[in-house]
Amino acid sequence: MSVAIASFAVFAASQVGTPGPANMALLATGARYGLRRALPFVVGVALGKQLIIWPMGFGLLMLAQQMPTLFAALKWASAAYIIWLAWRVANSSLNPGIAGARAPGFSAGLVVHPLNPKAWGMITAGFTGFVEPGTPALTATIWIALTLFLCQLVLHPMWCWGGEKLASVVAGKPQERALMLSLAGLTVLSVLFVLILGEQT
């Protein structure tokens, strides 16, 4: 009765570090506001995944298996919200030099993962693929939660910082519009990829 921690850590790092709706949101936020101003948002994104992990660890995963239609509807509603955020990114600018522009805060970051289909799939895979049958729910949930949070503490700021560095190159230039459209397009593609993959599994 245990959790395959080392294997799950590799899986978690690969999932947290690769493009997805949350990382695209972090990249876009870093591009527009910079890492320092976006830190409350980054912390909110990291902690927001815990809002999924703990309920899943203590029974939500079983409920999802019993009511697949309801959870499929919630998944598509979440995807619609992420796509709406992508539309806002596509129609925004980096606003270089405007100190008064207000960056999204902690609460805005907190809802990113609960509305992120990739996060739900990642956590479900963690509980079903790396936890041995009979492992106490508390033990499994602690290790899943801790491993993902540590990965996020390292990788989420890197995505935000990467956006800041991209912005320093293109802000105020013709390439700025292309960057914002690309970020929005990648966000939509990442959501659709997760949804299509989920339909096939």
- Domain extents in the chain: 5-200
pTM: 0.75
Tell me the pLDDT tens digit for each residue of 28-86: 888 888 899 999 999 999 999 999 999 888 886 666 567 677 656 766 776 777 677 77
Average confidence (pLDDT) over 164-181: 79
Which pLDDT score, from 0 to 100, does residue 190 have? 67
What percent of the chain is modeled with pLDDT above 90? Answer: 25
Tell me the pLDDT tens digit for each residue of 177-195: 787 787 777 777 766 766 6
**How does DSSP classify residue 100?**
T
Closest to 148 (Cα-Cα) out of 191, 119, 107 = 119
How distant, in Å, are the alpha carbons of 23, 41, 123, 125, 140 from that of 89?
13, 16, 27, 30, 37
Tell me the pLDDT tens digit for each residue of 121-144: 788 888 888 888 888 888 889 999
| 163 close to 31: Cβ distance less than 8 angstroms | yes
Confidence of residue 175 (pLDDT cuts 50, 70, 90): confident
**How does DSSP classify residue 145?**
H
Which pLDDT score, from 0 to 100, does residue 174 have? 78
Question: What sign results for the dihedral spanned by CA atoms 93, 96, 100, 103?
Answer: positive
